[in-house]
Amino acid sequence: MKIDLLHKPTEYMETVIILQEENGDIEKLEYLPEYLQNAINIVVKEDDFQFKYASLKSFPFIRSRKRTNVILCGIGNPKELDNDRFRHLIAISIREALKLEAKEAYIYTGFKNPLSELHFGHILAEAALLTGYRFDKYLSETKPPSLEAIHLAMELKNPRMFNRGVLEGRIFAEATNLARDLVNEPANVIYPESLAETAKKVALKYGFSIEVFGLDKIKRLKMEAFLAVGKGSKKEPRLILMSYHGNPHPKAKTIGLIGKGLTYDSGGYCLKNCQGMVNMKNDMSGAAAVIGTMAAITNLKLKVNVIGIVAACENMISGSAYHAGDIIRSMSGKTIEVVNTDAEGRLTLIDAIHYAISREHIDEVIDIATLTGAAAATFGNQISAVLANNEALLNKLQSASEFTGEKIWQLPLYEPYKELIKSEIADLKNTGGPLAGTITSALFLQEFVAGKPWIHLDIAGTALRDREQGIYSYGATGVGVRLLTQLLRELE
């Protein structure tokens, strides 16, 4: 999709999007032909359309046998416009244009923009590309590609900064859509080996380093917790190690991104019900977020050092699958009583985290996982749970969240709840039971971060959408890619 500035008036425009402030004057819009001004004014007057925030109306206008689709979108009070509200306005306008099967859209802005030209370009490109995404490769009949170009009709003091913003927004969106593709693929297409092969292709395309360990190497590393989860599947596990070194300073920190990589989760012998298994192809959304983030930060050439790790496996049932009641040893040496085979993600994460700390010598840990149903039950599908042991790092994440619009909410690492994950026969239990599930799972992970600054993101509720809404299409959201990329920008 091409996104550029319109430098001179155009005689014919197939689709026009008007972003106008409440009670604004259409006649003040730059480049907008008089005949369209008149038509819009008539419609606005007849329908008493007041351009309140997110109000939307579209209508056709025919002149010289040519049809122009006009989309009116209200922005309300421009003083209240922030990144997230503007992102939503672009999304609903673009979605309306897509419904009209537009090939080109001309955007006119009738308000004083409070956003910087850099942020304006970023959000315009990001929202347009995210909204235009659809996963239709398995449909026999697919719609032809639409919306090939967006032209912004306005004068800018610094078009160079706008174009830079467009470039950065495109990088954010394309990396997110990469993650969406990975999660939307079914489990018979994306499994540990194919996920690793796809990560290799991404690394080759974007330029970061990658190494993949197979079963024998994982055994030699004594990652027994990780191996236990994958024992029941015919698909062998893979440990995917990605690295990007953008800061050559000898004292520069190395940040570890750890993504949960369960390419399918049946629940094991603690079997999920049918409804609970339908979307378990998305249990590698954390892994997809890490792969997408590695692509984005490499493309942006950020001055940071990052190690991305995914312990990829399937949690299945067979004669070799692990059982409830088993005691297993983690790579760190701590023993774990398995009280629920469906609390498997944390078992893969702890070995990946320990590897990152002990072998890659990372300084800070960020893990992202579709970890607990409790997070989804608590926050729904629009807010991710976050738990952290470092306030400075958490503040950076909150700032990143405000920029990207990916909402987070902090839960406490409540120390007394550690009692819930204590075992009588091992060092830990892999679940604390039905109460405070998101907190106890994070407390379990905290036992393996070795006191390093650490953030845990539980995206169980935010990884999927069951309908189109704003920038999100049906299916995978790609949650975490933009959030982590922006966080790493702030950590440069």
DSSP state of 282: G
Q: Which residues of 367-387 are buried (b: 16+ CB within 10 A; e: fewer)?
A: bbbbbbebbbebbebbbbbbb
Token pair 């080759």 is found at: 204
- Other beta carbons less than 10 A from residue 486's beta carbon: 22
What type of residue sits at position 488?
Answer: L
Whether residue 189 contacts residue 281, with contact meaning beta carbons closer than 8 Å, is answered with no
User: Rounded distance, CA 285 to CA 275, Å?
Assistant: 18
Which residue is catalytic, options 260, 346, 396, 429? 346
Which residue is catalytic, options 235, 272, 303, 418? 272
> Across the strands, what pairs with 314?
264
Has 272 been annotated as catalytic?
yes
Per-residue DSSP letters for 39-56?
HHHHHHHHHT----TT-E
DSSP-derived 3-state class of residue 151: strand
Burial label for 138, CB within 10 Å (0-12, 13-18, 19+), is exposed
User: Rounded distance, CA 350 to CA 355, Å?
Assistant: 8
What tokens were used for 118?
């850099």
Could you give the angle at the alpha carbon of 40 between the alpha carbons of 37 and 44, nearest 5°?
135
Q: Which residues of 98-128 are buried (b: 16+ CB within 10 A; e: fewer)?
A: bebebebbbbbbbbebebebbbbbbbbbbbb
Has 346 been annotated as catalytic?
yes
Active site residue ranges: 272, 346
